[in-house]
Chains A and B, each alone.
Chain A
Amino acid sequence: QSVLTQPPSASGTPGQRVTISCSGSSSNIESNTVNWYQHLPGTAPKLLIYRNNQRPSGVPDRFSGSRSGTSASLAISGLQSEDEADYYCASWDDSLNNWVFGGGTKLTVL
């Protein structure tokens, strides 16, 4: 059971916009910033979004993040086949004194 809750799967067709939600609580998302990661099997996870909505250099602006209260979301516009991957949210939890992850969302590009 993950502290942060994500839908297990999401899907879209090329060119579409999809969003992935991440639900937490007052001790994590509401109090601390959220990171989003893209993970392809057999590779190292890649930071997509940090501090809720900031993109590291090299990450396309098709990826965007937002946070409101105890929830956060990742939006991917202009969906491409190469976006098919697992996506994870993460945040620091003040009660646990731990980083916590969502359970991951498997994105399928149809």
Chain B
Amino acid sequence: EVQLVESGGGLVQPGRSLRLSCIGSGFTFGDYAMSWVRQAPGKGLKWVGFIRSEPYGGTTEYAASVKGRFTISRDDSKSIAYLQMSSLKTEDTAVYYCVTGPYGMDVWGQGTTVTVSS
């Protein structure tokens, strides 16, 4: 069974950092791009960014709202993707999902909640 499991969420103060992890299983992790998508309370889904697979350069793209503050990386040997979040703002409060698949964003994890508050 294809599965993604996120972890690392929690309560963090504004300006601080947090790293989320996403472990994949049931598929060849290194074959696909890994995206992060978030949903703020009462709001819709918003794409955060992604990292391409190594055959496509392993490069990253980010939404304008997080560019320069968030960094996505991957360790294909461990089937893990990371979302390093720094200079966190209250508006980064959301459920964060990791997403992957042959069609770009097919398989979703259950999400991990990040709350940015003093």
Contacts and interface: CB of A to CB of B under 8 A. Distances in A.
Interface in B66-117: 97, 101, 103-111
B45 interface: yes
B45 A37 contact: yes
Given A35-B103, A51-B103, A98 B47 contact: yes
Contacts of A63: none
Contact of A92 (B104, B108, B110): B104
B106 A100 contact: no
Contact of A45 (B50, B61, B104, B108): B108
Interface residues of B, number: 21
Contact of B45 (A45, A46, A92): A45
Contacts of A56: 106
Given A44-B110, A44-B111, A101 B103 contact: no
A47 B44 contact: no
B106 A101 contact: no
Interface residues of A, number: 26
B105 A47 contact: yes
A25 to B, nearest CB: 16
B11 interface: no
Contacts of B45: 37, 39, 45, 88, 90, 101, 104
A102 interface: yes
Contacts of B50: 99
Listed residue (A43, A90, A98, A102) with the most chain B CB atoms within 10 angstroms of its CB: A98
B35 interface: yes
Interface of A: 2, 33, 35, 37, 39, 43-47, 50-51, 56, 86, 88, 90, 92, 96-104
